[in-house]
Amino acid sequence: MTPGRMSEAWPSWTVRVEAPEGVVYVRLAYQDGHPRHIGIQCGKSGGIAAGFASLLGRWGSKALRPCPKCGYHVTVSSLVRSARGITHDRSGNHEAASMPDAIGRALEMIEKLRTEPQKIA
């Protein structure tokens, strides 16, 4: 499998989750049935939350790519386990406790949507 060029259209799902930092949009794109790209947006363009969201998406995308030498790659479920439950001092009455928690929740929802579409309303 070769990495896709940005001009290729990959099927993707986007989920919106509210966090203390603002609304978080997480997009997970698939190439040949495998997760290959995570896009994350949060807060205003140029803001701290937006910068961290972009960085986390880039790191997640790199982690999903298979290693050319051994084929090992990180799974979406391992990213979910790493991100879910992370809180901070501004956690409050939001859908998620933090931006990382929102990202984990969104990735989990996307995986459920792909595997069990009838259970998502």
Radius of gyration in angstroms for the set of CA atoms belonging to the chain, rounded to a whole number: 15
Q: What is the pTM of this model?
A: 0.82
Residue 10, number of CB atoms within 10 A of its CB: 14
Does pLDDT of 1 surpass 70? no
Helix axes 76-83, 48-64, angle to 10 degrees: 140
Residue-level pLDDT at 120: 54
Contact 109, 95 (CB under 8 A): no
pLDDT tens digits along 38-77: 999 997 777 888 999 999 999 999 999 888 888 778 899 9
Residue 18, number of CB atoms within 10 A of its CB: 13
In three-state secondary structure terms, 82 is: helix
Contact 92, 12 (CB under 8 A): no
pLDDT tens digits along 103-114: 999 999 999 988
